[in-house]
Structure 1
């Protein structure tokens, strides 16, 4: 079986998904020294609504045990002020002191971004004598602080103290059953009880980048036997970023090679029947049989080279407009359109339906909510940056 003959993975009907008007994107550069002494430059793009592609010029070596200094010099940023990043550092440090896994830091920072933009908010109704030094004034009832906590969480002085408010958030988070396996927005909502429960998800990617920048790449770690292991999100394990490899096989045919310039994903070798997992939490956009070149729905038999079509395939929409595609399943997928799935959830099994010469998973990543070839990006660096490297990929 030749890699060159594996399926194109290009469904015959690809249309961009439009999720509303493209909102203004905030691009920031965080320059920092990593925990090993080398320099790295992080490029963050914070988005609300549709997503612009995020990229990393270079990353520091992953160091899950890197201790955050919330009093030291903060990275330079065009999008977040020094105080905002210091607040993020305090949130991480409290999590470290409480021995909360890095996934909790990502959830906490995403929550604080949504609730306060990482600014320590007072409230217009709070007496000046109780307001304490603050960074902004809001009007959200009697909620104050980074997490906009109400009086039941403590006194005004306590809630306006970043370390206290972060500790209270973590204390409630770790009481949520299976919180590490839940989607970020579900875990955050069970703590916050917000009127906008789906709002947290859009900050997951930005929160992961901030954690990586301030804590030595900790968002790329996986908790294994109570230890943080870097870049090992395979076989259903979930990185702190919320991503995992879809199957444990090694990458064969690559993204848009000279031999296959229209190959918009990578092929991952695996035996027929290998479980395929959702690479991250999200909503199923497509779950169907892709017609072959002759327009036939013939996905229940093994395909062949030049047959055309993805066979049985699934598209999943994730936070920030990222989309993953899984092609050549052996049988009808185990998920349906509009179903919400968790990271690591089984969505189907490896097969050889469609344009294929043998069992494998054709895996694609698209950005900007664009399912067409114009939105496709190389899955190898995309997954590696999220601590879920595809096995065998450099």
Structure 2
């Protein structure tokens, strides 16, 4: 059985070409740190070398004399982001909520506590979250109080079922009911960065507002990512012996569940096994002589990041155009296509580029987003 289904990345609803993508390899739980910057997210004054997983983070103090910078966010914006994080910590909202709240305020107000702008106002929207007094958010003075408006945002967010596993744009929209529901996702990378610099890596953490730690098996980081499965990495990215290996191979028994690494949209679901130039079934084990990924899935995430999952044992559990949540099962591991044994071949691509030109080392990328690959994750 063969087949193909494809959706072009820039046609998907989360294809946000304007999103800023930061990819730099930071170790999750200590050790030496090697940093690579893309997109100019940091200025020269940003201190990124001390990132852990938020384990040493005290409650954020917006009144601190000098706050760190994140990307192009200025001092006023960082202080408002600090208020949002501080309120989340006080309310014991999990750190994923801090990222969602900061990204929402970036879209609604550029993290500026907006007054009544007269003719430029969107109805009676005010403050960091552009909350409307006429819709029951509070009085004009209340919604212009960053602590009050942050608390109201979190109170509403916490009523949304399964909010921690939703795409950021979906969680934010459930609260805000915006006329531009897809706009929030473009701010997710910078919001994650702001939370990281304010909390010593909290956007890569799991746990509660106080008990921050690196994500463990089956957990989703505050930045919204999870490892696709648990297993030893048996072949690395573009090694000397395999320079055209554009992902990593993770050992897994046949039938092991594979999970979406982050919320997104399925843009390809395909069987591409070929032998001697002819398409063959993917519902059987492949071999080193077979070409292609076998049964595989591509998912488009916020920031035009694409993840790829290859060699599934049978047709994937998702369909073209389907929205998936972080950690949702998308298929099971196998050995279809170019494979000598059961495993998951996992790739990460930037800028919506599914070709080898867009591929980056998944180990470094997943460490940075708080969901390191390897035997200790799932």
TM-score relative to the length of structure 1: 0.82
Kept in 1, the 8 Å contact 2:292–2:338? The answer is yes
Give the conservation status (yes or no) of the 8 Å contact 1:123–1:144: yes
1:350 equivalenced with 2:342 (yes/no): no
SS of residue matched to 2:327: coil
Distance 1:158 1:21, change over 3 A: closer
1:96 matched to 2:89? yes
The CA deviation string for residues 220-259 of structure 1, in whole angstroms up to 9 with x for no partner, is 11238x9745222433x21111100000111110000000
Q: Which residue of 1 aligns with 2:178?
A: 194
CA distance in 2, matches of 1:343, 1:271: 22
Matches within 5 A, 1:246-325: 246-293=228-275, 294-325=277-308
Q: Distance in 2 between matches of 1:112 and 1:180?
A: 18
What 5-or-longer segments of structure 1 have no aligned partner? 1-11, 28-35, 48-55, 126-136
Q: Compared with structure 1, are the counterparts of its residues 24 and 338 closer, same or farther at alpha carbon in structure 2 (3 Å cutoff)?
A: closer
- State yes or no: 1:69 paired with 2:61: yes
Q: Tell me if the contact between 2:293 and 2:311 (Cα under 8 Å) persists in the aligned partners.
A: yes
C-alpha separation in 2, matches of 1:227 and 1:215: 11
Deviation of residue 184 (structure 1)?
Answer: 1.5
- Equivalent residue, structure 2, for 1:6: none
Q: CA deviation at 1:46?
A: 8.6
Please give the alpha-carbon distance, in whole angstroms, between the structure 2 residues aligned to 1:62 and 1:25: 22
Rounded to whole Å, the distance in 2 between the matches of 1:104 and 1:355 is 41
CA RMSD of aligned residues (A): 3.2
Q: TM-score, length-normalised on structure 2? A: 0.86
Distance 1:315 1:140 in 2: 38
Structure 2 unaligned spans of 5+:
23-29, 42-46
Compute the displacement of 1:78 (Å): 5.7
1:350–1:23 CA distance, 2 compared to 1 (3 A): closer
Compared with structure 1, are the counterparts of its residues 277 and 115 closer, same or farther at alpha carbon in structure 2 (3 Å cutoff)? same
Mapped partners of 1:21, 1:198: distance in 2:
9
Give the superposition deviation at 1:39.
11
Contact kept in structure 2, 1:312 and 1:327, CA below 8 Å: yes
Equivalent-residue separation in structure 2 for 1:26 and 1:277 (angstroms): 22
| 1:59-86, Cα deviation, whole Å (9 max, x unpaired) | 5122244321211111145611100010
Can you list the C-alpha shifts for 1:49-105, whole angstroms capped at 9, x where unaligned?
xxxxxxx97451222443212111111456111000100001000111111110110
Q: Which residue of the other structure, out of 45, 48, 51, is the alignment partner of 1:60?
A: 51
Per the alignment, do residues 321 and 24 of structure 1 end up closer, same or farther by CA in structure 2, a change over 3 Å counting?
closer
Against the structure 1 CA distance between its residues 81 and 138, is the aligned structure 2 distance closer, same or farther, given a 3 Å change threshold? farther
Contact 1:42–1:58 (Cα < 8 Å) also in 2: no
Distance change (3 Å), C-alpha of 1:346 and 1:213: same
Contact 2:127-2:145 at 8 Å conserved across structures: yes
- Give per-residue Cα distances to partners, 1:289-323, cap 9 Å, x unaligned: 01315231321110111311000000000000000
Bigger Cα displacement from structure 2, 284-293 vs 338-347: 284-293
Residue 220 (1) aligns with residue 211 (2): no
**Distance between the aligned counterparts of 1:220 and 1:360, measured in 2?**
26
**Using a 3 Å threshold, how does the CA distance of structure 1 residues 215 and 375 change in structure 2: closer, same or farther?**
same
User: How has the CA–CA distance of structure 1 residues 348 and 140 changed in structure 2, closer, same or farther, with 3 Å as cutoff?
Assistant: same
- Which residues of 2 match residues 57-136 of structure 1 at below 5 A? 58=49, 60-64=51-55, 65-72=57-64, 73-76=66-69, 79-125=72-118
